[in-house]
Structure 1
Amino acid sequence: MTTTLGTASAGPGEIDTGRLEVGETRDGSPFGLPVAVVNGESRGKTLYMQAASDGDELNGVGVIQRIVPQFDPAELSGTILIVGIVNYHAFQVAEHRNPIDDTKMNRTYPGNEGGTSSERIAAATFDNAMRADLILDLHQGSTSRMLDEVRVRCGKRHRLHEQCLELAKAFGCGYVLDQKGPDGQLARTAPDEGIPTVDPELGGAVGWDEHSIQAGVEGVFNVLRYYDFLEGDQQLEPQTRASGFKQYGAPAGGLVTMHRELGDRVRPGDAIFEITTPFGEPKAEVTADSDGILWRIRRLPQVATGEYVCSVGTDIGEY
């Protein structure tokens, strides 16, 4: 059976790429999102993947760039639907938000086909995501430094919570944030329609980071083996799970020196960072006020009073 996504069309055992038209640019020219269809030789489940719903989060694009050439449809059972770049306008100018409507795309799902630019793109991608049995929405921690982790955003009381956790565990980054997400996130909205969905947050970088991209590539293939798209015995490995965040800001202006590295365990009273003058004179030291793991760190050292510095994942457990 031939499968289409936009202008991409692939019969069993085929791969095709194309465009999913979603509107027009300011000069009236049509534009489309880059899409791919990988149609396996044998029948099976359908996986939907997308990247760059935030235009400066490029590690997911790097994952897709690397995995598609590795796919052999003759060895695949089922179908993979891919939207390689969701936030078309933001990607063009390397910005986080869609500059046409100043909107964060991953707050607009399920979208509105007659709405704003972001809502129209969200509606088009959501409609295609609803064709799948599983969804991976590839993200990164914007330009901050962050652990490679997978986020379960449906909330612990959701009927699909355990299935989303299983998908996160199958991806296998080693860290999971299990915290209900804001309204309008794909990973929050799609489970309401019965589709297990997670958003891998593949580190954080200006441009992209090869280590996190490789973690994403491995994660996608882990999922494909675990859910029988590909042959292979994929075992679930224990993951470190956090259920909350504690954010730390700067109590003074100056330059930040971190005393802990990403992934370090911290306990109340442990020094996390200090702030000095440009001449190295101490101004303030910030200590942890709860148990947790250093999860995310700002990239630039200079801070103003109250500016974000880092986040600690809290309520830590293994599962």
Structure 2
Amino acid sequence: MTTLGTASAAPGETSVGRLPVGQARDGSEVALPVCVINGASEGRTLYVQAVSDGDELNGLGVVQRFVPRIDPTDLAGQILVVGIVNHYGFQVAEHRNPIDDTKLNRTYPGNENGTASERIAHATFQAASSADLVLDLHQGSTSRMINEARVRCGKRHRLHRECLELAKVFGCGHVLDQKGPDGQLARAAPDEGVPTIDPELGGAVGWDEESIRIGVRGVMNVLTYYDFLEGTVSPETQTRATGFDQYGSPAGGLVDFTADLGDRVSRGDVLFRITDPFGTVQSTVKAESSGIFWRTRRLPQVATGEYVCSVGTDIDTY
């Protein structure tokens, strides 16, 4: 039997259930939706989770589409899935956990006696650290962003090569290979010997079907390449950035972008202009480094110093 929370599946079976993580303010149990797909034959274990940021729904779209496609009688190994990690944030469509005002993906490996977020992180980390591979499905919140996969363990980590390979197999087309902040699952799980990536499936309000399609293809690539399913996958060359420049607005007003997501930009190229309500240019911002136009804010209005866009830098392919 393979078990996650109340989901328990014999070989060749699929089971859904709940993973208890605490109690709500009315004393009712809080439990995350989980699924176990136990293959008919032995093999690796893949752990997949989504919505650790409560407004990032593309990963949930991937989960609800790939799980029904998997016939456990054709599977070698097991797949453990937590469909919605940030229960509290998901309920109110907020990025952070409103119970403790915490970004949950900064609390791994968690604490079983800690805050609400730390308890969720602890419960999900027990499953993640028991696996052979981890996919932590994200998106660029509600901003606009290219589809990419993030390798967050750092270049000197003993599992860097394995994490980079996993990102290549997933195959978003772009990879950000940059050590992440403490407390990310993609930082903590490699320390336990588990190759982990953080696919960032675009950015949307609600969800985006194209990014979900790319995510489903990525999961199926991983399942095939690592022999969970029969077949062959030839990983495609990925464009990698190892730096990430962020740009704020030097003036208040309205943003007028001169580059599109995914465009190559050169040092000195105009990225955006700020205009007043009558179209008069107040400020022009140019790229400080060459790279790829990676992410932008969604709404045009900005205050002085507010985030506007990001450029992935130090580009190569692998």
Same fold, judged at TM 0.5 (above) = yes
Which residue is equivalent to 1:131?
130
Aligned ranges for residues 70-219 of structure 1 at < 5 Å? Answer: 70-219=69-218
> Matched residues in 2 for 1:108 and 1:283: separation?
41
State the superposition RMSD in angstroms.
0.7
Offset at 1:156?
A: 0.2
2:155 aligns to what SS in structure 1?
coil
Normalising by structure 2, what TM-score?
Answer: 0.99
Query: Which residue identity lines up with residue 29 of structure 2 in the other structure?
Result: P
1:313 aligns to what SS in structure 2?
strand
Matched, 1:279 2:278: yes
Offset at 1:282?
A: 1.5
Offset at 1:271?
A: 1.1
Offset at 1:74?
A: 1.4
Query: Which residue identity lines up with residue 307 of structure 2 in the other structure?
Result: Y
> Matched residues in 2 for 1:269 and 1:244: separation?
17
1:255-294 deviation line (CA, Å, top 9, x unaligned): 1111100000000111111111111111111111211000
2:260 aligns to what SS in structure 1?
coil
Which residue is equivalent to 2:259?
260
Normalising by structure 1, what TM-score?
Answer: 0.99
> Matched residues in 1 for 2:271 and 2:25: separation?
47
Structure 2 gap ranges (5+): none
> Matched residues in 2 for 1:36 and 1:64: separation?
10
Which residue is equivalent to 2:19?
20
> Matched residues in 1 for 2:20 and 2:148: separation?
32
Matched, 1:4 2:14: no
> Matched residues in 2 for 1:165 and 1:20: separation?
30
Offset at 1:31?
A: 1.5
> Matched residues in 2 for 1:101 and 1:247: separation?
28
> Matched residues in 1 for 2:55 and 2:133: separation?
25
Query: Which residue identity lines up with residue 260 of structure 1 in the other structure?
Result: A
Offset at 1:101?
A: 0.6
Percent identity of the aligned residues? 73
> Matched residues in 2 for 1:209 and 1:189: separation?
28
Runs of 4+, deviation exceeding 6 Å: none
Which residue is equivalent to 2:231?
232
1:243 aligns to what SS in structure 2?
strand
Offset at 1:22?
A: 0.9
> Matched residues in 1 for 2:246 and 2:169: separation?
28
Offset at 1:5?
A: 0.6
Structure 1 gap ranges (5+): none
Query: Which residue identity lines up with residue 11 of structure 1 in the other structure?
Result: A
> Matched residues in 2 for 1:313 and 1:241: separation?
9
> Matched residues in 2 for 1:25 and 1:286: separation?
47
1:126-177 deviation line (CA, Å, top 9, x unaligned): 0111110000000000111001000000000000000000000010000000
2:229 aligns to what SS in structure 1?
coil
Aligned ranges for residues 239-250 of structure 1 at < 5 Å? Answer: 239-250=238-249
Offset at 1:100?
A: 0.7
